[in-house]
Amino acid sequence: ISEGGLIEFVNYLDGSREKLIPEPIYMEGKKENVPVQVALSYNLSYSENVVSYVNNISTIEGGTHVAGFRRGLTRTLKSYADKSGLLEKAKVDISGDDFREGLTAVLSIKVQEPQFEGQTKTKLGNGEIKGIVDRIIYDGIQAFLEENPQVGKRIIEKAAEAARARIAAKKARELV
């Protein structure tokens, strides 16, 4: 899939949602002979929309590549927020779910010997893929945020808002 194709797909998935960042972020890398491509964007919605592929086969149940993507995204954004001091004012502990609120992403990887799980064979089970995707995402997002601090600030502010809403909802449930 070409860079433009992935970015176009993210824009299509975002549809009419109001964008948090102006353009999708694109990154690609290759480790241990596994090419990884991802395009992602943020919008003002409250849901996460991650579409994933292995060897151009849709993996609607996700798998180790999606777990690696989520871990890499969370690690990078948490590290960036801590280093930049953006969370000191927020006074909340941000979870991975908070960082993924409003996220739209398309993840595509190529694996020489994919091991699919489940009856429908739509979940990747190769354990080594998680770490590979995690490292590529971490490096790619970190490099992007260093060059685009204003985008990083917007994403961290959205995550802090999501964390505050999550904590408020939990308190409301406890009161009931």
Rounded to a whole number of angstroms, the CA Rg of the chain reads 16
Residue 172: per-residue pLDDT: 94
Q: β-strand 103-109 against 34-42: which pairing, if any?
A: antiparallel
Smallest Cα–Cα separation from 143: which of 79, 55, 64, 58?
79
Q: How far apart are CA 25 and CA 20, in angstroms?
A: 12
- Tokens 């893929």 belong to which residue? 129
Residue 121: per-residue pLDDT: 81
Residue 31: per-residue pLDDT: 96
Please provide the DSSP assignment of 64-129 as one string.
Answer: HHHHHHHHHHHHHHHHHHHHHTTTTTT-SPPPHHHHHTTEEEEEEE--SS--EETTTT-EE--HHH
Residue 24: per-residue pLDDT: 96
Which mean pLDDT values do the consecutive 10-residue runs of the chain (176 residues) have? 87 94 96 97 96 95 97 96 82 90 97 90 94 97 96 94 92 92
- pLDDT tens, residue by residue, 113-157: 999 997 888 999 999 999 999 999 999 999 999 999 999 999 999
Residue 90: per-residue pLDDT: 67
| Whether this model's pTM surpasses 0.85 | yes
Smallest Cα–Cα separation from 105: which of 70, 64, 81, 130?
70
Please provide the DSSP assignment of 27-45 as one string.
Answer: EEEEETTEEEEEEEEEBSS
Cβ neighbours of residue 129 under 8 Å, at least 6 residues apart? 34, 63, 64, 65, 68, 109, 111
Backbone angles phi, psi at 2, to 5 degrees: -80, 160
